[in-house]
Structure 1
Amino acid sequence: MNLFRNKSNIRIVLYSLLSSVQMSFVGTLILSEVYAGLFSLNFRRIKQLQLNNPDVKRIQKALFIFLLIQMLSDVLNHNSMNNMLRGWAAIAVSLVVFTFMFRMFDDTPRIILAFMCAEIVRLILFGDSNFEQDTSSVMEDYSLFKFKIAPITNYITYLITFYTYNKRKDKLTVAILILYGLISVGLDYRSNGLFFIFGGLIIHFRKVLMNMTLARKIGITIFVAILFQILYMFYVNAVLSGEFGGKHAGDQLSETGNPYNPFSLIGQGRGEFFVAIEAIKDAPWLGHGSWAVDEGNHYRSLMFKDLDKDRSRMLAMSSSGVIPSHSVLLGAWLYGGVIAFLCIFYIFWLTMKRAFSLIVNERAMETPYYPIIVLFTIQLLWIFPFSPLPHIRSLLPLMIGFILTIYHSIQNEEDDEEEDLLPDNG
């Protein structure tokens, strides 16, 4: 077993390190994706994997249908050959990486620790190779914490809380998560901070959540919403007065129509989300095709409609030439139409169903992986609606593969006890 685990650790570490090597082939191809494809081409092993974890086949089918629908959309939209191939390659690579991650975690879920250690080393030595094209200009204006430091410290926090929770130091685990969350908010990475703060609160109240009635859940939800709004108002005052946060947060809030309304802040910070909705209205059934070009900067101009015409035109012209979306769910609909959206939404729904059942599962609470499950779940709730579609080939396979593997391991452990899920009582 130890030899088998060591081989799996080596494979996942190699995958991580190869993520920093890129090749120019139908867009950008990362060497780790090539490695994942070569390692996953074992149909007998895939068949066994599907038997062990039926969700593997469900995810694979959804992505395969997405690929077929995207091909149809591109042909009917008379898309350019380059954009066609880029779009198809992204979905195909996603299918390969999902399969690879499922196979890795099926060998042993504990390799998530080796992967995180490898990611820390890779990010320190080489940085993140998955930045969007316009990220460098943003980094010049705003804090480097979000782009350079947080990817490293996030993994460090995962590892620390894994071991503290494993040793049943629950209060310390919660304190670390909330403290790190507050530090992230203070260093101008608001969404990241909220992930860890809410993660800490869920872990603290996990026993309450497990036995909570529907009426009590509704009451707690209302209480949390009111408390969040009060704390958010204090946060806005502190940022606008320059006592807390950073330049990015201050600029966003000052440009928001009503800074005390968190939904207005989301609209200002994720304007691409609402622009994508407008584009979807114009082509709801088959979408606009892969990497749909924004002819005449029509949709990009909508993002800057509240600015003066000269500045709006300048910002629209300086941004990327594709229709903006910045959403996995809406990006699929924008590119491939309603069926493509349903495929990605099915993956989202399936994952959330499994994740929420784990969060309130007493057996899952006993495993040292529980903090990672909680944090991955919260992040997925943000990534699917508010992160770019290319996440289907990077973060999503890791998080979804891990959650679904733990879920099925717990479901099947009565017949086959999985030693990796047991806490370390030493």
Structure 2
Amino acid sequence: MFKKIKIAAYALGSALNVPLVGQLKGNEIVALLSLPFTFKARDFKDYPYLRKIVYALLALLLFQFITDVFVVHNSMQNFLRGWAGTIMSIISFIVLFRMMDTESAVMTYIFFAMIKNILFTDDIVDSDMSFFKFKIVPIIASALQLIAVYLYKRGKIMLMMGIMACACLLCFANDARSTGMLFFVGAGIIYVMSRGIRITRQKIFAILFIGATVFEMAYVFYVNAVLSNEIGGGHSSSQIKRLDNPYNPFELLVTGRGETFAAITAIGDKPLFGHGSWALDKDLKYYKIVLSYQDEGTGEFDLKKADSVDRYIPSHSVLMGGWISCGIGGFIAVFLIFWWLMKMAFTLVLHAQDSNLYPLYVMLTIGLLWTFLFSPFQHLRFTIPVTGCILMNGYYDWLYGPNVEDDEDEEQPVDEAEKEPLLLN
């Protein structure tokens, strides 16, 4: 019972901001207080991926120190905020790995994360579009994860698929395309894998071709519906109308993720050591690149708004954000974290269909991939640890079996080759 209370406090605490070295979240306070009672040195021996991820984060912290102190001579406020983020990510991985170690714990966390979004996210809503995207979508996502696990456990796959399809259509109709795509791709993967199809390298190409064909047909339908003002709202309509070829999904991705091109330019300007933690876009050089792809100087991306709110270098990519902050060393450290987490995640997608949490693993894997590629660097601190630890526990549960930790005196196998099997056998 105490563990569930702690998990609930962690989930709800993310809505609380504590002014300390910038701002700490309430759930980070929970993690800090739990660390002395959670950390076990033996975990680094028994679970090599946990050790590797923590060491990669320590390497990231070292590269941050070098860049901030010796290269860009960053302000104390900025480098302390940057270092605190990495330190909290380390602590969160260590604590959450032990906290999210059972199905009950994971379900408890998702339930209270949903409650948190119901009660405490009104402050980020400033329009009808943002209300659905930032208030309703997280609630739908958590509810769908709970429902999907419940139905999957009872073998009601087609009912689960129908609910996921409805959630997908609802998101696309209300300008939450990335979440809608997560549900779309997730439903497809769960359906294929639940059919008992043995995945080989040859079959992957066939599945990708069929999936791409279905996706393009659905995308054409979506574009036509948006252009005829049936779904999507003004934001989607304005984005699609300014594309040279609205039926090319890559053009839509480009216009919606102009921060990627700004990040590439920022990396090119300082490729070796980066710009430092919380680096400023002093003359709005990089923001203007975003502007050129997204709104051409009007509306949401108004230049005056950027100048009055903040002037941080835009990146919207955890991978590129590491490079911008502390150079190529930071990028390598973050990439290794990405690689190890995705290796475990894809292993679960391909081999863990017998787990009750399988639908959750699929959705978290897609979400984690999107986060590393297209979400702000701060996600390495706020969302990646909990997602990563759920997947990591699922991976070791699949690898060792459900009763591996029943006997704490039992020695665990430490053969690295055995712990890190090939994704495709």
Relative to the length of structure 1, the TM-score reads 0.89
Cα distance, 1:414 vs structure 2: 7.9
2:21 partner SS: coil
User: For the Cα contact (< 8 Å) 1:304–1:316, is it kept in 2?
Assistant: no
User: For the Cα contact (< 8 Å) 2:149–2:360, is it kept in 1?
Assistant: yes
Residue 246 of structure 2 corresponds to which residue in structure 1? 259
2:15 partner SS: coil
2:193 pairs, out of 206, 210, 216, with: 206
Answering whether residue 334 of structure 2 is matched by residue 344 of structure 1, we say yes
Distance 1:120 1:141, change over 3 A: closer
Distance 1:218 1:208, change over 3 A: farther
In the TM superposition, 1:4-403 aligns within 5 A as: 6-42=1-37, 45-75=39-69, 76-106=71-101, 108-127=102-121, 136=125, 139-140=126-127, 142-207=129-194, 210-305=197-292, 313-314=303-304, 316-318=306-308, 320-361=310-351, 364-403=352-391
Cα distance, 1:143 vs structure 2: 4.7
Cα distance, 1:219 vs structure 2: 2.3
User: For the Cα contact (< 8 Å) 1:239–1:246, is it kept in 2?
Assistant: yes
Cα distance, 1:216 vs structure 2: 2.4
Distance 1:80 1:112, change over 3 A: same
User: For the Cα contact (< 8 Å) 1:109–1:405, is it kept in 2?
Assistant: no
- CA distances 1:127-162 after superposition (whole Å, capped 9, x unpaired): 277x6xxxx5xx326251111111112111111111
Q: Distance in 2 between matches of 1:25 and 1:128?
A: 23
- CA distances 1:36-89 after superposition (whole Å, capped 9, x unpaired): 01211247x421332342211111001111011011111111111111111111
- CA distances 1:374-426 after superposition (whole Å, capped 9, x unpaired): 000011111101001111122111111011111111111187388xxxxxxxx
Alignment gaps of 5+ in structure 2: 407-425
User: For the Cα contact (< 8 Å) 1:210–1:360, is it kept in 2?
Assistant: no
Relative to the length of structure 2, the TM-score reads 0.89
Distance 1:330 1:34, change over 3 A: same
- CA distances 1:348-371 after superposition (whole Å, capped 9, x unpaired): 11111111111111xx21111000
User: For the Cα contact (< 8 Å) 1:18–1:32, is it kept in 2?
Assistant: yes
- CA distances 1:176-218 after superposition (whole Å, capped 9, x unpaired): 1122111111122111011112111111110557513322221
Q: Distance in 1 between matches of 2:112 and 2:306?
A: 39
- CA distances 1:95-137 after superposition (whole Å, capped 9, x unpaired): 111111101123x3420111122122222222277x6xxxx5x
Cα distance, 1:276 vs structure 2: 0.3
Name the stretch that deviates more: 117-126 or 156-165: 117-126
1:304 partner SS: helix
Q: Distance in 2 between matches of 1:197 and 1:175?
A: 11
Residue 421 of structure 1 corresponds to which residue in structure 2? none
Distance 1:94 1:128, change over 3 A: farther
Distance 1:143 1:68, change over 3 A: closer
Q: Distance in 1 between matches of 2:91 and 2:55?
A: 12
Distance 1:309 1:125, change over 3 A: closer
Paired residue type of 1:371: P
Name the stretch that deviates more: 321-330 or 171-180: 171-180
Cα distance, 1:251 vs structure 2: 2.1
Paired residue type of 2:174: L
User: For the Cα contact (< 8 Å) 1:161–1:173, is it kept in 2?
Assistant: yes
Residues matched between the structures, number: 402
Paired residue type of 2:384: L
User: For the Cα contact (< 8 Å) 1:288–1:334, is it kept in 2?
Assistant: yes
Paired residue type of 2:134: F
Cα distance, 1:166 vs structure 2: 0.8
- Identity level (%): 37
Q: Distance in 1 between matches of 2:321 and 2:237?
A: 28
Q: Distance in 2 between matches of 1:29 and 1:225?
A: 42
Q: Distance in 2 between matches of 1:189 and 1:205?
A: 25
User: For the Cα contact (< 8 Å) 1:109–1:406, is it kept in 2?
Assistant: no
Cα distance, 1:346 vs structure 2: 0.8
User: For the Cα contact (< 8 Å) 1:143–1:188, is it kept in 2?
Assistant: no
User: For the Cα contact (< 8 Å) 1:20–1:128, is it kept in 2?
Assistant: no
Q: Distance in 2 between matches of 1:182 and 1:86?
A: 39
User: For the Cα contact (< 8 Å) 1:328–1:385, is it kept in 2?
Assistant: yes
Q: Distance in 2 between matches of 1:221 and 1:384?
A: 22
User: For the Cα contact (< 8 Å) 1:73–1:289, is it kept in 2?
Assistant: yes
Q: Distance in 1 between matches of 2:258 and 2:196?
A: 34
User: For the Cα contact (< 8 Å) 2:133–2:175, is it kept in 1?
Assistant: yes
Cα distance, 1:313 vs structure 2: 4.5
- CA distances 1:303-358 after superposition (whole Å, capped 9, x unpaired): 22367679975465355211110110100111011111111111111111111111
Cα distance, 1:247 vs structure 2: 2.2
User: For the Cα contact (< 8 Å) 1:304–1:315, is it kept in 2?
Assistant: no
2:18 partner SS: strand
Q: Distance in 1 between matches of 2:362 and 2:2?
A: 28
